């Protein structure tokens, strides 16, 4: 009897899904520029709202040798939150061991410096966001798909020289191409999957450079209150920013949990004590 009921439900559900998909496909596609402006606006709203969140992320970073073989693996857990749209990061677990003692004190000082820079309006040296990508690329080959049971608009994206890139991040985006997906109902950026088509250098590579082949894939999803945050990210490439060398690498980041947080109420020291 249970099997018959299951088949009956499937028989009812499949036609409904097919009808919804057909309706979505027949519905006129929104204007790319209209959708771009809506996505940027929605992303800006999320950037303001995400300052209420503290998230725990797990990141595996693998350094590679010149032949692409694994050289070193770091497995870290970090707390992240946002101040004036800048992501603040504190490592709390390194390779399975809690960060304590002098290392913990260094992390606290580093977090304080990040907060001070954010309060002064100083953005991170290298941090490509989904909204930056959508804002600075050309959108083409617009199509509608069903993703997570929701109508989703997918574009091919390519760096747009007319966007007048000024900063290093903007110049790096100008050298990217790939795809981007926007949730049609909310206008939220769901997925960006891009790669670098050429080398990008600042001051001849002395200050920063990102090599051709750099890859980045970011997936965002909504929290229960509707605020969209990064759910998962992958990347690989060869880059250098400032005095910090970043050899050939690949990384995978997963957001494990998020909770409401008030950076003004919770001190950095209390954050550390909680771990």
Asked if residue 95 belongs to a domain, the reply is no
Indicate whether 228 and 253 sit together in one domain: yes
Q: 53-67, 171-185, 199-213, 221-235 — which is least confidently predicted?
A: 199-213
* Mean pLDDT value across residues 247-256: 87
Q: Is 275 helix (H, G, I), strand (E, B) or coil?
A: coil
Q: Are strands 53-64 and 208-210 parallel, antiparallel or unpaired?
A: unpaired
Indicate whether 41 and 23 sit together in one domain: no
H or E element, residue 15: helix 2-26
Indicate whether 135 and 24 sit together in one domain: no
Indicate whether 130 and 201 sit together in one domain: yes
* Mean pLDDT value across residues 53-64: 92
Asked if residue 132 belongs to a domain, the reply is yes
pLDDT, position 19 = 44
Asked if residue 51 belongs to a domain, the reply is yes
pLDDT of 145 strictly over 80 = yes
Q: Is 24 helix (H, G, I), strand (E, B) or coil?
A: helix
Asked if residue 76 belongs to a domain, the reply is yes
Indicate whether 156 and 230 sit together in one domain: yes
* Mean pLDDT value across residues 208-232: 87
Name the residue among 209, 123, 196 with its Cα closest to residue 168.
209
How far apart, in whole angstroms, are the C-alpha atoms of residue 254 and residue 60? 9
* Mean pLDDT value across residues 128-137: 87
Angle 21-156-213 from CA coordinates, rounded to 5°? 135
pLDDT of 24 strictly over 70 = no
Instruction: Quote the percentage of the chain above a pLDDT of 70.
Output: 77
Indicate whether 20 and 39 sit together in one domain: no
How far apart, in whole angstroms, are the C-alpha atoms of residue 11 and residue 64? 51
Indicate whether 64 and 185 sit together in one domain: yes
Asked if residue 274 belongs to a domain, the reply is no
Indicate whether 169 and 220 sit together in one domain: yes
State which residues form the domain around 247: 32-80+126-260
DSSP string, the chain: -HHHHHHHHHHHHHHHHHHHHHHHHHSPPPPHHHHHHHHHHHHHHHHHHGGGEEEEEEEEEEEE-TTS-EEEEEEEEEEEEEETTEEEEEEEEETTEE--HHHHHHHHHHHHHHHHHHHTTPPPSS---HHHHHHHEEEEEEEEEEETTEEEEEEEEEE-GGG---SHHHHHHHTEEEEEEEETTT--EEEEEEEESS-EEEGGGTSEEE-TT-EEEEEEEE-TTS-EEEEEEEEEEEEEETTEEEEEEEEEEEEEEEEE--TTTS-HHHHHHT-
Asked if residue 70 belongs to a domain, the reply is yes
- Cβ–Cβ under 8 Å, residues 258 and 55: yes
pLDDT of 244 strictly over 60 = no
Indicate whether 60 and 24 sit together in one domain: no
Asked if residue 61 belongs to a domain, the reply is yes
Reported confidence tier of residue 5, pLDDT bands at 50, 70, 90: very low
Number of domains in the chain: 2
pTM for the complete prediction? 0.79
pLDDT of 236 strictly over 60 = yes
Indicate whether 213 and 140 sit together in one domain: yes
pLDDT of 177 strictly over 50 = yes
Asked if residue 172 belongs to a domain, the reply is yes
Q: 71 or 188: whose pLDDT is higher?
A: 188
How far apart, in whole angstroms, are the C-alpha atoms of residue 238 and residue 223? 33
**Largest distance between two CA atoms of the chain:** 73
Indicate whether 66 and 198 sit together in one domain: yes
């Amino acid at each position: 009897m249970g099997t018959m009921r299951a088949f009956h439900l499937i028989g009812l559900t499949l036609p409904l899904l097919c009808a919804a998909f057909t309706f979505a496909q027949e519905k006129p596609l929104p204007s790319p520029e209209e959708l771009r402006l809506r996505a940027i606006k929605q992303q800006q709203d999320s950037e303001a709202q995400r300052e209420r969140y503290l998230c725990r992320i797990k990141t595996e970073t693998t350094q590679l040798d010149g032949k692409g073989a694994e050289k070193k693996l770091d497995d870290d857990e970090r707390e992240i939150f946002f101040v004036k749209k800048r992501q603040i990061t504190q490592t709390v677990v390194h390779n399975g061991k809690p960060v304590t003692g002098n290392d913990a004190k260094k992390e606290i000082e580093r977090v304080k410096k990040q907060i001070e820079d954010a309060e002064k309006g100083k953005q991170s040296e290298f941090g490509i966001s989904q909204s930056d990508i959508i804002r600075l690329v050309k959108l083409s080959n617009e199509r509608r798909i069903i993703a997570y049971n929701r109508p989703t608009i997918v574009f091919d994206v390519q760096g747009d020289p007319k966007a007048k890139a000024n900063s290093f991040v903007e110049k790096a985006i100008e050298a990217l191409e790939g795809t981007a997906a926007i949730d049609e109902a909310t206008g939220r950026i769901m997925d960006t999957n891009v790669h670098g088509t050429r080398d990008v250098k600042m001051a001849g590579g002395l200050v920063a450079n990102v090599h051709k082949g750099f890859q980045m894939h970011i997936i965002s999803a909504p929290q229960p209150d509707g605020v969209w945050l990064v759910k998962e990210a992958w990347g690989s490439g060869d880059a250098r920013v400032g005095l910090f060398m970043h050899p050939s690498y690949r990384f995978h980041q997963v957001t494990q949990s998020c909770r409401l947080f008030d950076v003004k109420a919770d001190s950095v020291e209390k954050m550390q004590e909680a771990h």
